[in-house]
Amino acid sequence: MYLYNSATHKKEEFKTHTPGRVEMYTCGPTVYHFAHIGNLRSYIMEDVLEKYLRFLGYDVNRVMNITDVGHLTSDADEGEDKMLKGARREHKTVMEIAQYYTDAFFDDCRKLNIKRPDHVQPATGMIDDYIRIISGLLDKGYAYLAGGNVYFDTSKLGKYYVFNEHNEEDLFVGVREGVEEDTNKRNKNDFVLWFTKSKFEDQALKWDSPWGVGYPGWHIECSGISMKYNGEYLDIHCGGVDNAFPHHTNEIAQTESYLGHPWCSWWVHVLHLNTSDGKMSKSKGEFLTVSVLEEKGYDPLAYRFFCLQSHYRKSLVFTWENLDNAAGAFQKLIAKVANLKPDDGPVDEAAVEELKNKFKSGMDNDLNTSLGVTCLYDILKAKTNDATKLAVLDAVDAVLGLKLTEKAAAQRARNAQAAAAPAGFAILSESGEADAAVEQLIRDRAEAKKAKDFARADGIRDQLKAMGVEITDMPGGAKWRRV
């Protein structure tokens, strides 16, 4: 497999430190609010990468942090802790906010069929590890104390900028418009490893440390958590592209200085989901969540399908029209899979291998998921029996995660039910009420189901729901009630 590496700026043939095993780390969510569908684009693409590595036969150890402390409103150590801001917004404690949004995040992941990583570690659970690493950095001369905080000294490094040759002036993090300069820093890009002095005295979570009561900087959590669960050599580190600087750059600086050897081989950055107003972001306040998609009647997996249609290294523009197109194509795809007959003969293993190799040839080129999706249609058109096609679809969908065969089986059952319904169609209202508009829609829906146009049938059901009408299918008809 060839995978693009942001650290070397090229596609390279994927190799692991330990043969057959992939140590993989992903920056997790900052749990002060719901994840938006932009964040989830990153997690979907990272999930596909993990599942594809498993498809290739690797044993993958996937680790993720949950940021519940230390991520300030500016990535450059300035501003207020995002968690505190969230707690204040909702009149709850930081820990209540963290638990609530962590659960909400994994709920969204479940709906999008994103696998839970092997290890999920909240940042607040590893304070002793950060203290040990920071002490090590101080002992080795890579860190210094100033104004009560501990800083990493970037001047001690031969190469600090890993991902880009930044213009230093642009990155003068201490001096941004509207942001006070942190005069404790010896160099512009030095960053905080441990805060004891913060402009915000009401920082909710604080721990004792050799340098005073305080809390860790944002970057140290990912270094500490990865070293604990992935060991000293990491094969792949993922995150959205906004994390490349300063977060990942600082992770590399402190981890390699601490370990005394190179740390992570591959850096995989997912480009952003944008709206017509630019990057979708939590701090903007208004953003789209999985729940909003569901309220509007979309299957969350239609959003996953939408993401898979484009490459992770290209930014993706979200519009409702684009999502509608993807949702329509997804529905048609399921209908095609539902038309396959599961028991039409023995599975042709040679054909399975051939089609799986076709899937591989696209995905091996830097995880080209749009070719992976195209391959689904090639499988449907292949000159082989349906049982073989279903076997291949199952294998490749273990990577793409669209639940194709499961959805198709449900669709097949609905098809059978519709075919068994008698010609006459009775409409009953639970209250005995007559409503011509509602009855017409129910009849239209029955027609659509008969014509196997399930997208339209589901659309009509949603339309009725929006009108406050709930329908229940019955043999030979449907009954309805107002809710």
Comparison of 143 and 270: residue with beta carbon closer to ligand AMP: 270
Q: Does 241 bind Zn ion (CB under 5 A)?
A: no
Query: Interior CA angle at 412 toward 408 and 418, to 5°?
Result: 140
Minimum distance between the CB of residue 237 and Zn ion, rounded to whole angstroms?
A: 8
Start-to-end CA distance of the chain, whole Å, equals: 53
Q: Does 38 bind ligand AMP (CB under 6 A)?
A: yes
Contact (Cβ atoms closer than 8 angstroms) between residue 242 and residue 272: yes
Element (H, E) at 358: helix 349-363
3-state helix, strand, coil in the chain (%, to 5): 45, 20, 35
Strand locations in 327-438, DSSP E?
426-429
Binding test (CB under 6 A) with ligand AMP, winner from 280, 323, 464, 469:
280
Partner that binds at residue 326, options Zn ion, ligand AMP, none, CB closer than 5 to 8 Å by kind: none
Partner that binds at residue 441, options ligand AMP, Zn ion, none, CB closer than 5 to 8 Å by kind: none
Partner that binds at residue 86, options ligand AMP, Zn ion, none, CB closer than 5 to 8 Å by kind: none
Comparison of 36 and 51: residue with beta carbon closer to ligand AMP: 36
Binding test (CB under 6 A) with ligand AMP, winner from 281, 289, 365, 463:
281
Q: Which residue's CB atom is positioned nearest to ligand AMP?
A: 240
Minimum distance between the CB of residue 108 and ligand AMP, rounded to whole angstroms?
A: 12
Contacts of residue 437, defined as CB under 8 A and 6 or more positions apart, other chains included, come to none
Q: Phi first, then psi: give them for residue 473, nearest 5 degrees.
A: -75, 145
- In the window 193-252, what residues touch ligand AMP (CB under 6 A)? 239-240, 242-243
Residue 11 tokens read as 């596609």
Pairwise CA distance, residues 42 & 281, whole Å: 13
Contact (Cβ atoms closer than 8 angstroms) between residue 155 and residue 237: no
Q: In the block, which residue shows the tokens 């693009």?
A: 4
Dihedral over Cα of 267, 271, 273, 276: its sign = positive
Tell me the sheet residues that pair with 22.
60
Partner that binds at residue 222, options ligand AMP, Zn ion, none, CB closer than 5 to 8 Å by kind: Zn ion
Partner that binds at residue 220, options ligand AMP, Zn ion, none, CB closer than 5 to 8 Å by kind: none
Applying CB under 6 A, the span of 38-46, 158-166, 325-333, 371-379 interacting with ligand AMP comes to 38-46
Partner that binds at residue 279, options ligand AMP, Zn ion, none, CB closer than 5 to 8 Å by kind: ligand AMP
Comparison of 242 and 435: residue with beta carbon closer to ligand AMP: 242
Q: Is 29 exposed, middle or buried (0-12, 13-18, 19+ CB in 10 A)?
A: buried
Site string for ligand AMP, 64-83 (x = CB under 6 A): ---x----------------
Binding test (CB under 5 A) with Zn ion, winner from 1, 27, 44, 227:
27
Pairwise CA distance, residues 272 & 356, whole Å: 30
Partner that binds at residue 237, options ligand AMP, Zn ion, none, CB closer than 5 to 8 Å by kind: none
Q: Which residues bind Zn ion (CB under 5 A)?
A: 27, 222
Q: Which residues bind ligand AMP (CB under 6 A)?
A: 27, 29-30, 38-39, 41-42, 67, 239-240, 242-243, 270, 272-273, 279-282
